[in-house]
Amino acid sequence: MNAADVLALGLPWLRLDLRCDPAALMAEAEAVEARAVPHRANGRGWRSLCLHGLGATATCDATEYGYESEAAAPHAWTEIADLCPRTAEWVGRLPLRRLYRVRYMWLAPGGYVAPHDDSEIRRLGPINVALSQPVGCVFKMEGHGVVPFEPGAAFLLDVSNRHAVINTSREGRLHLIVRGEHHADDPAWADLVMRSWRAER
């Protein structure tokens, strides 16, 4: 079995064999949190800020800003990346062919993201990194259960599955979502996928 085979299994998520220092990255995020903007209307207490994208506060898909697709949009590092150098460096080391949106996603205490799906195409797409994950905050995919996030854990997610998040805790939650192009025939990406797959098994 190779990386392409693993990615074709129809997994709802794959825990990536990646390490980060969530406390250090959290500290950078907290320094810019006041600049975050509400993200979408299908939730409460859901705020976002881009380190990479079409602008720090352009937190939605590129098609919502007039581009044909994410691939067609001129994504670039924003001023937030300059303020969060360790996070930007960590993201820059990911074995992706190209970065699209890289966003902090805060979910306030009492916040939620209503059930939805983000794509009609079944595929493991975005990388979702939990910089914080309070007990009582849950990310669930319909038919598959709760994604076992913990601080510092990174998952490759198939967000064509209906999913939702609820934060019943008294603390805010912060995730980093990295969207970009990855190809199973890129050796570094294939290596990460295979290491992750073996570790999960």
Partner 1 sequence: VQSFQAWARRRRVGFGLWSRPTCRPDRHARCAELTLRALQLHNEEGRSALFEGADVDSLLRSALVAGHDYLLVQSAGSWIRDREALRAALEAEMERGFLVLGHVLDRGEAYYSLHHQCFMVDLERWADLGCPRFGDPGQTPRTLHRPRRSEEAFHHGYTPLWIAPSGERQGYARQEWGWHLIHAGLEAGQRIAPFSRAVRRAKGYLYPGNAEGFDARLAAVRAEASGWGAWAWVANTEETPDVAAFTGPVKTLVSVAAGLAPWALLAQAGFTAGTVVHFVDASADTLAFQRWLLERWDGEGYADAVAAFHRDHPAAGAQPDATPVALTALERQADLRAAWPGLRRLAVHSHRIDLLSADCGRVRAWLGPATMVSFSNVFHSRRTHLGLTESENAEAWQRWLETIEGAWGLGVDPWNRTVAGFISTAAGSPAAVNRCFPPDVLSFFAGEQHWLREANRR
CA–CA distance, 139 with 165 (Å, rounded to integer): 4
CB of 150 or CB of 191, closer to partner 1: 150
Give me the torsion for CA of 28, 56, 85, 197, rounded to 10°.
90
Q: Which of 95, 50, 57 is nearest to 77 (CA)?
A: 50
DSSP 8-state symbol, 63: G
* Residue 36 structure tokens: 């975050």
Nearest approach, Cβ of residue 109 and partner 1 (Å): 6
Nearest approach, Cβ of residue 163 and partner 1 (Å): 9
Nearest approach, Cβ of residue 37 and partner 1 (Å): 15
| Amino acid letter for position 134 | P
CB of 85 or CB of 136, closer to partner 1: 136
CB of 44 or CB of 122, closer to partner 1: 44
DSSP 8-state symbol, 120: S
Nearest approach, Cβ of residue 167 and partner 1 (Å): 9
* Cβ contact 117:159 at 8 Å: yes
Nearest approach, Cβ of residue 45 and partner 1 (Å): 8
CB of 112 or CB of 189, closer to partner 1: 112
Which stretches of 54-192 are assigned E, i.e. beta strand?
76-77, 98-116, 127-130, 137-141, 145-146, 154-157, 163-167, 173-181
CA–CA distance, 22 with 149 (Å, rounded to integer): 12
CB of 19 or CB of 116, closer to partner 1: 116
Nearest approach, Cβ of residue 70 and partner 1 (Å): 27
CB of 66 or CB of 143, closer to partner 1: 143
* Cβ contact 148:128 at 8 Å: no
Interface ranges with partner 1 (CB under 8 A): 44-45, 108-110, 112, 114-115, 135-136, 138, 140, 142, 145-146, 164, 166, 168-170
